[in-house]
Amino acid sequence: MEKDDLMLEQLANREYEFGFVTAIDMEISEIGLNEDTVRFISAKKNEPQWLLDWRMKGFKAFQKQEMPAWQNFKMPEIDFQSISYYAAPKQQAKYASLDEVDPELLRTFEKLGIPMSEQKQLAGVAVDVVFDSVSVTTTYKKHLNELGIIFCSISDAVKDHPELIQKYLGSVVPHTDNVFASLNTAVFSDGSFVYIPKGVRCPMELSTYFRINAENTGQFERTLIIADEDSYVSYLEGCTAPMRDENQLHAAVVELIAMKGAEIKYSTVQNWYPGDKEGKGGIFNFVTKRGACRGERSKISWTQVETGSAITWKYPSIILQGDYSSGEFYSVAVTNNMQIADTGTKIHHIGANTKSRIISKGISAGQGQNSYRGLVQMGPRAAYARNFTQCDSLLIGDRCGAHTFPYIESKNNTATIEHEATTSKIGEDQVFYLNQRGIDAEQAIALIVNGYAKDVLNQLPMEFAVEAQKLLSLTLEGSVG
Amino acid sequence: MLSIKNLHANIEGKEILKGINLEVKAGEVHAIMGPNGSGKSSLASVLAGRENYEVTEGEVWLDGKNLLDMKPEVRAREGVFLAFQYPVEIPGVSNINFLRTALSEIRTHRNLPQLSAKEFLKMTKEKQALVEFEAKLANRSLNQGFSGGEKKRNEVFQLAMLEPKLSILDETDSGLDIDALRIVSNGINKLRSADNAFVLITHYQRLLEYIVPDFVHVLYNGQIVRSGTKELALELEEKGYDWLKEEFHGNAPVKNI
């Protein structure tokens, strides 16, 4: 149809807002990957022997593993030998106050809209910024310390809290899990660590902002969040990357552990560079995220808004071990131009009376391909476990694709699994109706898309929900004539 | 206010409007009647700027501005309102958020200051009372789960909120029971003023008992074949459209219209 053609044409003109490069002296390791690379990284970070040993185990597992082949797109050739695995700003890595930070770096943060300023701190956001591979500064640490909350870079946690790291790192995502998780184990550079002590309710949203800056560097951050008994934490990660012609690899691992009665809410707003309209460049976002509800009545909730990356390959999953534990997965994934998203979740119901809820909203425009892939597994002990899955797809234009791959396994006949799925197209009628009330096509699409994604956006913390709404509108800007 | 001159329009290559002439002045109510397929809804769509219609000839002026040069949203901001025959549903978009966005665009265009949230809600309440539309709007998605009658009444409520110059009501009476018809008509009568104008597209004379038009036009085969006052509507009610068709075709037998 004529209108669709117009949509598509305009879609192609949408540009990436965060595509600037920061000129800062970087210390970058030689490209290539071998045991020496792993040793180099570990030595740079003055790590203890046990951690180097673990990295080496990860590296050996990585060498044995095949690239996954089950996803709904052709896995691109990734030359792991042409990547540099370590990049750090060539300065002292820690600053006592923001005044000491390179102003150029601060300007970058400003452009990114990272809430690092004093005002934002007062607004109750504590931010751990990972700029390429080294965590630059952690704000608000002191206040959190008073509550016994640990919020720091994973490197600091290795030094200051080795007992927690040794006990929990790799306990949810083992070093053998998959090729990207193994690679991450071997070369992870930095990331965030959170520990919430028993009975403490974290009084603010904790947030990390990731950004890939240097060319040819992969980003391999590692996040570990432990919520001890009856504690609560809400955590948000946001991601952006500058515009580059070549693809950059991002292979992160996130592990969540919720003890008895604890709750972890983990939200992601992912806006990596998606590549240009021909599909050149962009981030390969191959991420392993998993949470374990270890104790009774524990709860883990993943919310993700995925608008960026050339390819997104991620399945934040939840292991419901404790009886009466519950898991939630809320997702909005947008693919525009040549973007590919193969994303969803895995929920393993192990304990009795566990319950889970999956709401997935895919949006495809341009020639984007969007797949939902989900596994719901009811184990033999999962008596009276319940799952509800709702999986919707929205199409804009007629050259994009939406696909769903739901898998269900039940070994307990008292468990119930519900699955609902819909596919719809943004109708010309809807757009015209809004036009006729004075609303232009762009804003009409934004309204319709945000309405469609509302159930998921509502799960985000307030201020990030607003940001995510803007991002959705921006990503689809120009998608109609 | 509205001046249509020799308007011709195609849809998918087929000519559907074949030279429409119509003058509507401020303060007037015009009814456009005619059998199915005569081009009534097409005329409404062309005036509102629906894209799949192609205007091949003629002019449309709204207060001296060339309507055909404007995008649909600009026409709306200039004061053209179409009450849809089949209002669409938009899941997840609340009625209130939608109206606020629409009103804000229109007020910006008309160089009017934006309303505060408080003023907006006050206006919403007043207009809801005016058109007797009690539905709770804040938490409901636009038209979703509305009955046919509620959708039509929501159109009239939007009309009240957006305060257009020219309102085109495309079969707003269809699907309404007698009580709803009375309520909708009352609402429109209250909204009539010396500064605005209404074009009512309808099949039935029934609506015109409630909203008394200044002029009645009969559209047939893409042209206005007869114009008159409200008595014409009564005549049509009594005699049907066949006599007009015959007249139009010069007494030739009429087939499959």
**B72/A439 Cβ within 8 A:** no
Which of B50, B51, B77 is closest, CB to CB, to A438? B77
- B41: pLDDT strictly greater than 50: yes
The pLDDT tens digits of the residues spanning B180-214 come to 899 999 999 999 999 999 999 998 888 998 999 99
**A450/B88 Cβ within 8 A:** no
Whole-number pLDDT of residue B62: 96
Q: Is the pTM of this model over 0.90?
A: no
One-letter amino acid for residue B107 of the chain: R
Is residue B238 very low, low, confident or very high in pLDDT (cuts 50, 70, 90)?
confident
- A173: pLDDT strictly greater than 60: yes
Question: Is residue A37 within a helix (H) or strand (E), and if so which, with residue range?
Answer: helix A35-44
Whole-number pLDDT of residue A152: 85
Domain B27-49+76-238 has CATH 3.40.50.300: yes
For A437-453, what is the mean pLDDT? 89
Percentage of chain A lying above the pLDDT 90 cut: 41
Q: Sort out which chain B residues have CB atoms less than 8 A from A459's CB and list them.
A: none
The pLDDT tens digits of the residues spanning B67-84 come to 999 999 999 999 999 999
**B71/A448 Cβ within 8 A:** no
* Alpha-helical regions (H) of A333-437: 428-435
Whole-number pLDDT of residue A93: 40
- A119: pLDDT strictly greater than 50: no
Coarse DSSP helix, strand, coil percentages of chain B, rounded to the nearest 5 percent: 40, 30, 35
Query: Which residue is closest to A426 within chain B, CA to CA?
Result: B90
Is residue A391 very low, low, confident or very high in pLDDT (cuts 50, 70, 90)?
very high
For B118-124, what is the mean pLDDT? 91
Whole-number pLDDT of residue B244: 76
Whole-number pLDDT of residue A122: 34
Is residue A450 very low, low, confident or very high in pLDDT (cuts 50, 70, 90)?
confident
Which of B72, B73, B92 is closest, CB to CB, to A454? B92
> What token pair was written down for A198?
């028993």
Minimal Cα–Cα distance from A299 to chain B, Å?
27
Which of A3, A435, A439 is closest, CB to CB, to B101? A439
Whole-number pLDDT of residue A360: 93
One-letter amino acid for residue B181 of the chain: L
Q: Which residue has the higher pLDDT, B47 or A220?
A: B47
Interface predicted TM-score (ipTM) of this complex, two decimals:
0.94
**A443/B101 Cβ within 8 A:** yes
For B119-148, what is the mean pLDDT? 87
The pLDDT tens digits of the residues spanning B17-40 come to 999 999 999 999 999 998 888 999
Whole-number pLDDT of residue B197: 96
B93 in reach of chain A (CB within 8 A): yes
The SS3 call for residue B116 is: coil
**B92/A450 Cβ within 8 A:** yes
B212 in reach of chain A (CB within 8 A): no
**B109/A435 Cβ within 8 A:** no
Whole-number pLDDT of residue A346: 95
Minimal Cα–Cα distance from B48 to chain A, Å?
7
- Of A32-41, A98-107, A251-260, A334-343, the least confident: A98-107
The pLDDT tens digits of the residues spanning A18-41 come to 555 555 556 666 778 888 889 988
Closest CA to A89 of A142, A39, A37, A23: A23
Whole-number pLDDT of residue A390: 93
Q: Which residue has the higher pLDDT, A449 or B105?
A: B105
Question: What is the rounded distance in angstroms from the CA atom of residue B51 to the CA atom of residue B37?
Answer: 19
The pLDDT tens digits of the residues spanning A82-99 come to 887 876 655 444 455 555
Q: Sort out which chain A residues have CB atoms less than 8 A from B101's CB and list them.
A: 439, 443, 447
Q: Sort out which chain A residues have CB atoms less than 8 A from B161's CB and list them.
A: none
Whole-number pLDDT of residue A461: 78
- A299: pLDDT strictly greater than 60: yes
Whole-number pLDDT of residue A1: 35
Whole-number pLDDT of residue B97: 87
**B91/A452 Cβ within 8 A:** yes
Question: What is the rounded distance in angstroms from the CA atom of residue A479 to the CA atom of residue A5?
Answer: 10
Question: What is the rounded distance in angstroms from the CA atom of residue A276 to the CA atom of residue A36?
Answer: 35
Q: Sort out which chain B residues have CB atoms less than 8 A from A430's CB and list them.
A: 88, 90
Q: Mean pLDDT across chain A, nearest whole number?
A: 81
| Cα distances (angstroms) measured from residue A453 to each of A347, A450, A459, B120, B139 | 22, 5, 10, 26, 16
Q: Is the dihedral of CA A185, A186, A192, A196 positive or negative?
A: positive
Q: Which residue has the tokens 């898998």?
A: A407
Q: Sort out which chain B residues have CB atoms less than 8 A from A436's CB and list them.
A: 48-49, 72-73, 75-76, 81-82, 84
Is A215 exposed, middle or buried (CB count within 10 Å of its CB: 0-12, 13-18, 19+)?
middle
Instruction: At A336, give phi and psi (nearest 5°).
Output: -125, 170
- A65: pLDDT strictly greater than 50: yes
| Core vs surface per residue A422-438: b (16+ CB within 10 A) or e | eeebbebebbbbbbbbb
Whole-number pLDDT of residue A208: 73
Whole-number pLDDT of residue A94: 46
| Cα distances (angstroms) measured from residue A26 to each of A19, A88, A105, A134 | 18, 5, 12, 11
For B131-143, what is the mean pLDDT? 82
Cβ atoms of residues A165 and A145 within 8 Å: no
Domain ranges across chain B: 27-49+76-238
Residue B18 is classified by DSSP as E
**A435/B76 Cβ within 8 A:** yes
Q: Which residue has the tokens 């901001």?
A: B77
For A378-402, what is the mean pLDDT? 91
Whole-number pLDDT of residue B214: 95
- List B residues 162-191 in contact with A (Cβ-Cβ < 8 A): 162
Question: What is the rounded distance in angstroms from the CA atom of residue A463 to the CA atom of residue A113?
Answer: 12
Pairing relationship of beta strands B141-142 and B166-170 according to DSSP bridges: unpaired
**A455/B76 Cβ within 8 A:** no
Is residue A260 very low, low, confident or very high in pLDDT (cuts 50, 70, 90)?
very high
Whole-number pLDDT of residue A147: 92
Is B193 exposed, middle or buried (CB count within 10 Å of its CB: 0-12, 13-18, 19+)?
exposed
Minimal Cα–Cα distance from B121 to chain A, Å?
18
Question: What is the rounded distance in angstroms from the CA atom of residue A255 to the CA atom of residue B219?
Answer: 70
B88 in reach of chain A (CB within 8 A): yes
Whole-number pLDDT of residue A18: 54
Instruction: State the angle between helix axes of B117-130 and B95-109 in degrees (0 to 180), rounded to the nearest 10.
Output: 110
Whole-number pLDDT of residue A246: 64
Is residue A328 very low, low, confident or very high in pLDDT (cuts 50, 70, 90)?
very high
Which of B48, B141, B142 is closest, CB to CB, to A436? B48
Query: Which residue is closest to B98 within chain A, CA to CA?
Result: A447
Instruction: State the angle between helix axes of A49-64 and A179-187 in degrees (0 to 180), rounded to the nearest 10.
Output: 150
Residue A307 is classified by DSSP as -
Is residue A455 very low, low, confident or very high in pLDDT (cuts 50, 70, 90)?
confident
For B118-143, what is the mean pLDDT? 86
- List A residues 390-429 in contact with B (Cβ-Cβ < 8 A): 427-429
B113 in reach of chain A (CB within 8 A): no
The pLDDT tens digits of the residues spanning A122-132 come to 344 455 555 55
Whole-number pLDDT of residue A85: 81
Question: What is the rounded distance in angstroms from the CA atom of residue B28 to the CA atom of residue A174?
Answer: 77
- A420: pLDDT strictly greater than 80: yes
Whole-number pLDDT of residue A308: 84
**A453/B51 Cβ within 8 A:** no
- B138: pLDDT strictly greater than 50: yes
Question: What is the rounded distance in angstroms from the CA atom of residue A30 to the CA atom of residue A87?
Answer: 10
Candidate ranges A218-222, A303-307, A423-427; pick with highest mean pLDDT: A303-307
Whole-number pLDDT of residue A401: 87
- B107: pLDDT strictly greater than 90: yes
